[in-house]
Amino acid sequence: MEENIIQVENLSKSFDISSKEPGLKGTLKHFFKREKKSIEVIKNINFGIKKGEIVGFLGANGAGKTTILKILCGLIHPSQGRLSVAGNLPYKRRSNFLKNITLIMGQKQQLIWDLPPIESFYLNAAIYDIEKFEAKKRIKKLSDMLEIEKELYIPVRKLSLGQRMKSELLAALIHKPNILFLDEPTLGLDINAQRNLRKFLQIYNKDTDATICLTSHYMKDITSLCKRVLCIHEGCLTYDGRLERLLKKISPVKDILIICKTDKDAKELSNSGLNIKNQNQKEITITIKKDSIKSTLNNILNKFEIEDLYINEPPVDEIIGDILVKEKV
């Protein structure tokens, strides 16, 4: 059985915070005697991720997704539990571990603002002890994949957000990491830039067999890239499995709009015992369980004169939105 490249057992993380009352009195009280309390943001989480998987982390703002990624890449020390990433303890931040991972955050940047991206690429290559000739090869390959060439020689401050994000991605991948931690990588990008970035990540994953852990509030990122998702709610892991199964579990029915040819057919259909959602003259919307769609439609088509029909289901965004506000799925 293949070992997990990422293994997390009973992981918890708490932060100590101090609270202050408003006004001068509260400030003086806070200065001389601070009241601290502990907030548990990650609560006894367990999961494993295999090499080459693309896993999406879903959850509302403040659920703990970014904290988990920061623990996995060693920026935050866990309060309790055991974890292993590529055979390493992340918080020890050893050089062989750091050479195997990268962290990309949509709201942070590592490129030098007043210099062209190419200068930052060569700086990163030097930090990772990559020879200049090898660095040129890697930059050329990645820039071709990301479709940015002229942009490499333009100061970062003059690049568009999409061009900067592509450059950030190139800078983060120049050392060929085996594990990518992506926190809102398409944040603020337009539709085309988002699509291009997703396409690049799919190709990169296929070519290198890299493991990708992804958080995003753009549901297209999750549905396009991730077959497996982990749902985080108030620091707890509430679901770990295939996205397809989760969507079926949350939304086990479909709405079907049926347009009847005659008023008579519409009347008979509305009185046939089906679950009618709404009706507008000859247009009737019924709700059917997904596992009985075929038999129900066959029965309808055999009994009634139907002009047209449309099978609909709630948009993925709505379904995921329901997931984010539920405690358990």
pLDDT given for residue 61 in this prediction: 81
Return d(Cα 147, Cα 200) in angstroms, integer. 10
The lowest-confidence range among 48-52, 146-150, 186-190, 259-263 is: 186-190
Return d(Cα 241, Cα 231) in angstroms, integer. 9
pLDDT given for residue 324 in this prediction: 57
Return d(Cα 124, Cα 135) in angstroms, integer. 9
Confidence of residue 323 (pLDDT cuts 50, 70, 90): low
pLDDT given for residue 258 in this prediction: 87
Question: Which of 112, 108, 124, 38 has its CA nearest to residue 75?
Answer: 108
Cα Dmax for the chain: 82
In this predicted structure, the answer to whether residue 20 has a pLDDT above a threshold of 90 is no
Task: List, in order of start, the domains of the chain with CATH numbers.
Answer: 4-248 (3.40.50.300), 252-313 (3.30.70.1150)
Return d(Cα 159, Cα 169) in angstroms, integer. 14
Residues 6+ apart with CB under 8 A from 17: 36, 37, 38, 39
Q: What is the pLDDT of residues 155-202, one digit of tens each?
A: 999 998 888 988 999 999 999 999 999 998 888 788 888 888 899 999
User: What integer is the mean pLDDT of 292-297?
Assistant: 82
CA atoms within 13 A on the CB side of 213: 29
User: What integer is the mean pLDDT of 256-274?
Assistant: 85
Q: Tell me the residue type at 229.
A: V
pLDDT given for residue 321 in this prediction: 60
In this predicted structure, the answer to whether residue 319 has a pLDDT above a threshold of 80 is no
